Chains A and B, each alone.
Chain A
Amino acid sequence: AQTVTQSQPEMSVQEAETVTLSCTYDTSESDYYLFWYKQPPSRQMILVIRQEAYKQQNATENRFSVNFQKAAKSFSLKISDSQLGDAAMYFCAYRSAYNDMRFGAGTRLTVKP
């Protein structure tokens, strides 16, 4: 079964600094997608970034980028120039063509002014 592990329950970053959130996953499949979702206090799940496993290039979305290491099954999220609005729960998620989306336990990010 596919599992997603986020080993950092909580992280803290100073405003304008950079922070990296870790995620590892376990799978025997070769074709899959990886996601990072943000859940602010409103609890609305917001897609931050998506990575297709067949793509070697790391996905980027403005201040958000990933470090996708397929062999190591690692998918970390880097947030640059952190802003107060980045404070939220961040969930790493995995989905393959044959299975539904599975989420990690989440990392609560605090941004200090």
Chain B
Amino acid sequence: GAVVSQHPSWVICKSGTSVKIECRSLDFQATTMFWYRQFPKQSLMLMATSNEGSKATYEQGVEKDKFLINHASLTLSTLTVTSAHPEDSSFYICSARTSRSGGETQYFGPGTRLLVL
């Protein structure tokens, strides 16, 4: 299957700082990438959808000024958590959509665990 990488896998930061998470599609071009948030023992919650070269579309209740998304190329999307606070601590997962393998499928990165102290 297609490979999606995420960096960093773990990050601990102080409250008030900003954290950037990178998501890369390694062996395919992804016109659309997605960012999810997952709390312990819960399902994935879609935060935003980003298309290469255009502004991200945020889900209702997600602060676009707090969670900045940049989809600069067909293989890279970044999520920046600005002025992070302890309630932003969570598991963040990116996903990239591809049309290979005969149909559209989303492949997921390994996730980033964020802990804000």
Contact = CB atoms under 8 A, between A and B. Distances in A.
Interface of B: 1, 34, 38, 42-44, 46, 49, 91, 93, 95, 103-108, 110-111
Contact of A33 (B46, B91, B95, B104): B104
A50 to B, nearest CB: 6
A101 B34 contact: yes
B43 A101 contact: no
A contacts with B: majority SS: strand
13 contacts: A35-B106, A43-B91, A44-B108, A45-B93, A47-B105, A47-B106, A47-B107, A52-B103, A100-B34, A100-B49, A101-B34, A101-B46, A105-B42
Contacts, number: 45
Nearest to B32: A100
A105 B39 CA distance: 12
Interface of A: 33, 35, 37, 42-47, 50, 52, 91, 95, 100-106
Nearest to A97: B104
A47 B3 CA distance: 12
B106 A101 contact: yes
A42 B70 CA distance: 26
B57 to A, nearest CB: 9
A43 B111 contact: yes
